[in-house]
Amino acid sequence: DTAVSQTPKYLVTQMGNDKSIKCEQNLGHDTMYWYKQDSKKFLKIMFSYNNKELIINETVPNRFSPKSPDKAHLNLHINSLELGDSAVYFCASNSDRANTGELFFGEGSRLTVL
Amino acid sequence: GDSVTQMEGPVTLSEEAFLTINCTYTATGYPSLFWYVQYPGEGLQLLLKATKADDKGSNKGFEATYRKETTSFHLEKGSVQVSDSAVYFCALSDQGYGQNFVFGPGTRLSVLP
């Protein structure tokens, strides 16, 4: 059983399209995250949700909209895709109760915008 | 704000060589410190962690000690293997609500047979 699963793993699309990436965790965690990893492997947090409530919202274009229907899911919707959105997007989760707890990552979703 | 600095890579070593990857941090509070590893084509996974000063984290022959006086958390391994080839990320998390993790830029390690 995969602890944090993301779909799709690969996504190739044209500029201007709208796409979504889904994430689910079966660890019972209450906090979920989206990270963006660029071509140089630099990892940057985008959003964090705790029990469906937005906690961290870093400076990302408002074309990116996270949605958390329940605490086990955090989806990322991207409108009007641009070339610079090409990256690997990682979902992660952890338990807020374990204040020093580790992050559990999904395998990543590689988005390529043509 | 909090930040993490790592030595720039790539680092290329021969099998059985000694490894050190330097990591230093700045933080206003008392963060927990982590090393994550990313193997090719995979997500990040926790390698080791330390939650307070002078703690030593260890796993799979890797170790790192939380040094508050030098704000460092250097990763070491006495004898690397080809299978250790990966990207290594130093990270910290503050103690606040929502646990904002801050990652270093990553250091790519290549171990040659």
pLDDT tens digits in sequence order for chain A, 114 residues long: 679 999 999 999 999 999 999 999 999 988 899 999 998 888 888 988 888 788 777 778 899 999 999 989 999 999 999 999 999 999 999 886 655 568 899 999 999 999
Å between A102 CA and nearest CA of chain B = 7
DSSP string, chain A: --SEEEE-SEEEE-TT--EEEEEEE-S--SEEEEEEE-TT--EEEEEEEETTEEEEE-S--TTEEEEEEETTEEEEEE-S--GGG-EEEEEEEE-SSSTTPPPEE---EEEEE-
CB contact under 8 A, A107 and B42: yes
Token pair, residue B42, equals: 């995979």
In this predicted structure, the answer to whether residue B36 has a pLDDT above a threshold of 90 is yes
d(CA B78, CA B62): 8
CB contact under 8 A, A45 and B95: no
d(CA A54, CA A65): 11
Q: Sign of torsion, CA A20 A67 B2 B36?
A: negative
Between the alpha carbon of residue A96 and those of residues B6, B8, B59, the distances in Å are: 27, 32, 24
Which residues are A106's β-sheet partners? none
CB contact under 8 A, A108 and B45: no
Residues B19-23 have a mean pLDDT of 97
d(CA B36, CA A1): 21
Residues B50-76 have a mean pLDDT of 96
Q: Indicate the pLDDT class of residue B17, thresholds 50, 70 and 90.
A: very high
First-to-last alpha carbon distance for chain B, in angstroms, is 41
Chain A residues with beta carbon closer than 8 angstroms to that of B42: 107-108
Å between B6 CA and nearest CA of chain A = 12
When the pLDDT of each residue in chain B is averaged and rounded to a whole number, the result is 92
CB contact under 8 A, A100 and B49: yes
Chain A residues with beta carbon closer than 8 angstroms to that of B103: 43-44
d(CA B92, CA B66): 11
Check if the beta carbon of residue A112 is closer than 8 Å to that of residue A98.
Answer: no
